[in-house]
Amino acid sequence: MEDKVIGFGIVGTGAIAGIHAQAIGAITNAKLLGAYSLTKAKVTEFAGLYNCAAYNSLDEMLQTEGLDIVCICTPSGAHLEPALKSIAAGKHCLIEKPIEVTLEKTDQIIAAAKQKNVQVAVVFPTRFYPASQHLKQAIDSGRFEKLALASSYVKWSRTHEYYQSNPWRGTWKLDGGGALMNQAIHSVDMLQWCMGPVESVMAISGNVKHKDIEVEDTLVAVLKFANGAMGTIECSTAVYPGAYKKLEIMGTAGTVVMEDNDIIQWQFEQTGVDDHQRSEGPSAHSSKGGVADPKAISYSGHQKQMENLIDAIYNNGKLLIDAQEGRKSVEIVLAIYKSAQTGQLVKLPL
C-alpha cells in the first residue's frame, strides 16, 4: 500500500471543494485526478487551479484509471445521486456533511454501500482535532464521572449576499435547513459523539435577520440524552460580528470547554495525567473559525479524515465516521426541526 497512489475525484466545485483539494494535496500518497461539475466554466477553472482533469460527465470521471475515492461536495440535498453512481462504480466515498437531508436518502446510501462493500465516510473534521480526541478520551475513561450538561454554541454571521450567491442556499430541498443543518451540524455531531444517544428534543426557531430564505437563521434547542444528561444548542447566522463556536461538557467531577477546536478549560475534581491539555489561548485556534467567512477554515481536519478513510480501506483500520455514524446527526437535526415546527416534544428515534 505504501507504493500505491490513492486517486481522488471531486464532485461539485463550490467553496468546500477547494478545501478537499488542498487536503488531498497535503497527503503524500494521494493525487486529485479530476473534478466534475454541471457548470463547465467552474470545473474548468477549478481544474486549472488544482492541476487535475475537468469533467462535465460524472460517468466519464468514474471511468478514470486509478480513481479510488470520490469526494462529494454538491449541495447537501444533492448528495444522493452522485453517491449512488459512485458506489455503483465501486468507488469509496467521502461525503460532505450532512450525508443527506432526509433519512430516506441517507438510508439509500447506506444500503448501496453495504451491497457494493465500499466505504462511505461523512465529513465531520472537528472530531479529528487533538482537542476533540483528548475530550473523548477523558469521557471514555470516566473522568467526568456522571455526565450532566452539554451545551453547544454556533453564533455566526452570514450576509445577505451569502444566501444569494447560489439559488440552493437557504432552501429546504437542497440546503436541508438553515443555521442548524448547515452550520451547527458539526456541533450536533460532537454532542452525540460525546454524550451518546439523544432521547428527546424541544426547540424554537425563527428568522431574525434573513427574512427572504425558507429556512431558519436562528434556533435554540433543549436535548435530553439517554444517559440522563441534558443539553442545549444555540445557533445563528444572524448575529454580528459572530463568535467562535463553543462546546461545553460538564459532569459531576469535571468540566471541559472547547472554543473553536481548542480547549480553553480543562478542570477535574481529581488530577490526572492528561491535565496539561488546556490550550494557551485564542491565538491557538487552528480552524480559523468560519465565523463570518465560510471559506475561512483549515483543511487539516479534512486531511486527517481522508487519511482515516485511506487507512480503513487499505489497512483494515477503523473508520471513525462512517455513513451510519453520519446518519445520527441528521436524525437529531430533523427531530429538532419537527419540534420547532410543531411546538411539541419530539422523541427519538424518529
Every domain of the chain and the residues it spans: 6-124+302-322, 126-293+328-347
State how far the Cα of 279 lies from the Cα of 265, in Å rounded to an integer: 8
Q: Domain 126-293+328-347: give its CATH architecture.
A: 2-Layer Sandwich (3.30)
Separation between Cα atoms, residue 73 and residue 95, nearest integer Å: 7
Query: What per-residue string of b and e applies to 150-159 under the rule 16 or more CB within 10 Å gives b?
Result: bbbbbbbbbe
Distance CA 335, CA 181 (A): 11
**Tens digit of pLDDT at every position of the chain (350 positions):** 567 999 999 999 999 999 999 999 999 999 999 999 999 999 999 999 999 999 999 999 999 999 999 999 999 999 999 999 999 999 999 999 999 999 999 999 999 999 999 999 999 999 999 999 999 999 999 999 999 999 999 999 999 999 999 999 999 999 999 999 999 999 999 999 999 999 999 999 999 999 999 999 999 999 999 999 999 999 999 999 999 999 999 999 999 999 999 999 999 999 877 777 665 444 445 545 578 877 778 899 999 999 999 999 999 999 999 999 999 999 999 999 999 999 999 999 99
pTM strictly above 0.85:
yes
**Which CATH topology does 6-124+302-322 take?**
Rossmann fold (3.40.50)
